Amino acid sequence: MPCTCTWRNWRQWIRPLAVVIYLVSIVVAVPLCVWKLQKLEVGIHTKAWFIALIFLLLTIPISLWGILQHLVHYTQPELQKPIIRILWMVPIYSLDSWIALKYPSIAIYVDTCRECYEAYVIYNFMGFLTNYLTNRYPNLVLILEAKDQQKHLPPLCCCPPWTMGEVLLFRCKLGVLQYTVVRPFTTIFALICEMLHIYDEGNFSFSNAWTYLVIINNMSQLFAMYCLLLFYKVLKEELSPIQPVGKFLCVKLVVFVSFWQAVVIALLVKVGVISEKHTWEWQTVEAVATGLQDFIICIEMFLAAIAHHYTFSYKPYVQEAEEGSCFDSFLAMWDISDIRDDISEQVRHVGRTVMGHPRKKFFPEDQDQNEHTSLLSSSSQDATSVASSVPPSPMGHYQGFGHTVTPQTTPTTVNVSDEICNYTTGVKKEPSDISMAS
């Protein structure tokens, strides 16, 4: 009986336990690092990984605290699950970069795997936006169809626009998902090329594989970010309650800065700014460039951890919720059934298109939205299915920063004609008017 009560009140002891574990880790890690520095002859490489370790020890607790708070207040699984996955990016990047900096011989392997996670982050950010929209606007396709036609943004402004509604929604999602497929394939290919000694990371030359993979990854990443930007441009008003600009900038800056930073450093090596004259404790100038990239990322992730703490805050989800198990919340974070289903659906869609039998309906009808729903199956229902749509998470409904409606005050579903009228006439009905009309 006492054991049951202890586990039931896990929210009260989990955070103090995390603080204690962190403090014990610091007390053990710092003396070991100082002893290691005194034992070795301190060089540039040693100083670099020691400074990077300090930033790592500052970054990890900030990120893990945010993740822990979301697990403690896990009241909106369909929104918080992708947020937690995004928050994991900072500790993964930071720890991975430090390992690559400390052990240069395995840098190519850990750095390549690290870069795979950025595709996963972009996918989850798109999932976060679509989950919010499909929960709040079950008839999202009809709302999109009522909007003015959105033209393509530069540099694709000369291309024919995507039809507003289901076509635009599906293509934006597919554009983001393609990077999730391309990046793992290029990662596997890069590892194979490294084992065959034809990868030659950091050397801009059309005789190696690295240059071609950089171009492929860059094109795929740019198109994914373009689709995200176009998606936000079209649904800017609907997304405003969750303050997406700061979240978009956090994701975009981390992904873009880390990628283009590596390209700039490689260019500095190519033009001789970073030369063979000063390799310090690294074996080659390319290893110096890789080490410099990892060192800078360790510092940048500390700043990113602070930014993520505020932009992906847990506070909007704090409410009186059902007492759930901490292990259930933790295990839900690792469920990847949604991305598995999306990749399978994308392969089927491409296969049907190649065979000349493209699908007429992009989304299935009467699709229930929850934390396991895949990105490509997150559909908007038509007017006949709105009345029978399943409400959002039974633990509450997100209503913007600092406002979460509890299960006892479930919001009334707005009629489709009223929503379309709001976008065509510019006149919004008050909630009291809507309830009287119903």
At 397 the three-state DSSP class reads strand
pTM: 0.73
Of 34, 77, 38, 39, which is closest to residue 331 (Cα–Cα)? 77
Burial (Cβ within 10 Å: 0-12, 13-18, ≥19) of residue 53? middle
Please, what is the Cα angle at 434 between 432 and 435, to 5 degrees? 65
pLDDT reported for residue 419 = 47
Q: Domains in the chain, please, with CATH?
A: 41-333 (1.20.1070)
Give the Cα separation of 161 and 158 in Å (integer). 9
The answer to whether 10 and 71 have CB atoms below 8 angstroms apart is no
The answer to whether 177 and 154 have CB atoms below 8 angstroms apart is no
40 DSSP assignment: S
Is there a cis peptide before residue 155, judged by omega within 30 degrees of 0? yes
Distances (CA, A) of 248 to 10, 18, 122, 200, 252: 33, 29, 10, 33, 6
pLDDT reported for residue 333 = 62
Give the Cα separation of 375 and 349 in Å (integer). 14
Structure tokens belonging to residue 396: 């509450």
The answer to whether 78 and 131 have CB atoms below 8 angstroms apart is yes
Q: How many CA atoms lie within 13 A of 337 on its CB side?
A: 7
10-residue mean pLDDT profile of the chain (438 residues): values are: 54 71 76 73 78 89 90 87 93 93 85 83 91 90 90 88 90 90 90 88 84 91 92 92 90 84 84 69 76 91 93 84 57 65 63 53 50 54 39 43 39 45 48 46
Structure tokens belonging to residue 125: 């950010």
